[in-house]
Amino acid sequence: MTTPHVQLRRIEFADTDMAGIVHFANFFRFMEAAEHDLFRSLGFTLHRGVGGGGESMSGWARVDARCEYHAPLRYEDLVAVEVRVREKGRSSVSYDLEFRLEERAGEPQPDRPLVASGRLTTVHVIRAPGEERMKAAPIPPEVDAALEARSAPPEVDPPSARG
């Protein structure tokens, strides 16, 4: 529905395994990189500062991660990792992710086939100064607003305005 945030990524040699394709665990690294790229595009960094202060630390713990694999990715493939906010709670955000093949062996892929779909569920956590454990905390208001705006369907003219 809403336009996803898209991060383009060139598959590297070290991403592959002896089956000649991208190792399945690396799709999770790529999902996280797209999530972080979305945050950066909104003006936030995930590293110290998102709602943090003083010496406290703030971050997003992963509580659930999953991926369905439809087709392999190969060395030098150009892949678009598309991330959408799926659901947002008081302290949690989940994302839907799609991996689309943009280019293979130097050839553009006009159909952009879906090679994998994933989901990532995260919880905003804070670690108070001097403590070791992180605990769940409400999403900082400015982050919440930015994600909300990002999730909102694109505004359309009301029917009357179109006629």
DSSP 68-123: EE-S---TT-EEEEEEEEEEE-SSEEEEEEEEEEEEETTEE-TT--EEEEEEEEEE
Q: Minimum distance between the CB of residue 121 and a second copy, rounded to whole angstroms? A: 9
To a second copy, the closest distance from the beta carbon of 163 in angstroms equals 45
Task: Rank residues 16 and 91 by Cβ distance to a second copy and give the closer one.
Answer: 16
**DSSP-derived 3-state class of residue 40:** helix
Residue among 17 and 148 whose Cβ is closer to a second copy: 17
Long-range pairs for 125-131: beta carbons < 8 A, 24 or more residues apart: 125/58, 125/59, 125/60, 125/61, 126/51, 126/52, 126/56, 126/57, 126/58, 127/56, 127/57, 127/58, 127/59, 128/56, 129/54, 129/55, 129/56
71 versus 152: smaller Cβ distance to a second copy: 71
In contact, 30 and 99? CB cutoff 8 Å = yes
Q: How far is the CB of 91 from a second copy (least distance, A)?
A: 15
What minimum distance in Å lies between the beta carbon of 46 and a second copy?
A: 7
Interface residue list for a second copy (CB under 8 A): 12-14, 16-21, 23-26, 28-29, 32-33, 36, 40, 45-47, 55, 59, 61-69, 74-76, 105-106, 130, 134
**Among residues 43 and 163, whose Cβ is nearest to a second copy?**
43
Min separation Cβ 110 and a second copy, Å: 21
Nearer to a second copy, 61 or 128 (CB): 61
